[in-house]
Amino acid sequence: MCANVIVAEDDEKQAELVRRYLEHEGHAVTVVGDGLAALDEVRHKEPDLLVLDVMMERADGLDVLRVLRAERRELPVLMLTARTTEDDLLLGLDLGADDYMTKPYSPRELMARVRTLLRRTRRTPDAPPATGATGATDEMLSVGALRVDPVRYEVSVDGAYVECTPGEFRILAAMAAEPERVFSRQRLLEELHGFDRYISNRTVDVHIMNLRKKIEPAPRKPTRLLTVFGVGYKLTDPAAKRAPRASS
C-alpha cells in the first residue's frame, strides 16, 4: 500500500533514517525540518500520514497538531518525541495524535506502527474484511442512534457524521460490536496497539474522554459510553433504558 507521507523532523540523521525505511516500503516521502514547513506541506499535499517530531524550530509538534485538528484535518499523525513522561504522551493523544513513540525507538517498530495506521485509515477495494480481536467484521454496527461503519471508517450519531481518530474509531468499533459488554482498560489497550511498553491505562481514559465529547449530548453526564467503576467501560443504548416495559 503506497502512501504519501510527510516526515517533520529537525534531526537530519533521524529524518534520513525514517525516510529510507519508508521509501523501502514503497511510500512517497517528503521531509521537512520545522513545524511551519510541516503545516505548509500538509495543506499543500494532503498526505496520507504525518510523522511528527515534538521538539522542532518555529513551531513544535504539539502546536502543529493543535492547528491541524482545529482545521479539522483527519490525516493520521504519529508523534515522535524524546520526552518520556506519561503526561507528555497523554497531552499528545488529547490533542488528537493517533499514535506516539518515544526516542530512541526501533525503525522496524516505527514501520509497524505506520502500517497499522495506514490499514485503519486507507481501505482498498480488494482489502479483506477486517476482523479485530473482538470478532467484529465489516458489517454496520449499531447501538441505538450510534452507527459505526467498519468499511468506510465512519461514525454517526442521529445521522450526523462524527469525526474520530483511528484510535478512537478502534475503541468504538470494538465496543459497538458487543454493546453492554464491560471492557477493561487493558482489553481496550489491546484494541489500540496490542502490547506496547509506552502506553498505560490512562491512554484509554483520554480516548474515552475525547469520544464522549463527540458522541454524548452532555459529555460530563454520559448516557452512551459509561464508566463501570473499578472495571472499565461499556457502550449502551440510552433509548433502550428509557423504553417502558411491556405489560404482561
| pLDDT tens-digit map of 26-66 | 999 999 999 999 999 999 988 999 999 988 888 888 889 88
DSSP letters along 26-69, please?
A: T-EEEEESBHHHHHHHHHHH--SEEEEESS-BSS-HHHHHHHHH
pLDDT recorded at residue 126: 36
Q: What is the pLDDT of residue 134?
A: 40
Q: Which domains does the chain have, with CATH numbers?
A: 4-121 (3.40.50.2300), 141-242 (1.10.10.10)
Pair 78, 114: CB distance under 8 Å: yes
> 241 burial class (0-12, 13-18, 19+ CB within 10 angstroms)?
exposed
pLDDT at 229 (0 to 100): 92
The answer to whether the CB of 206 falls within 8 A of the CB of 93 is yes
Task: List, in order, residues 6 or more apart from 45 with CB less than 8 Å away.
Answer: 4, 6, 30
pLDDT at 244: 53
Strands 183-184 and 232-235: antiparallel
The confidence score (pLDDT) of residue 109 equals: 85
| pLDDT beneath 70, residues of the chain | 1, 83-89, 120-138, 193-201, 241-248
What's the grid cell of residue 97? Answer: 495524535
- At 200 the pLDDT is 59
What pTM, to 2 d.p., does this model score?
0.60
How many Å apart are CA 184 and CA 102, to the nearest integer?
25
Share of the chain above pLDDT 70, in %: 82
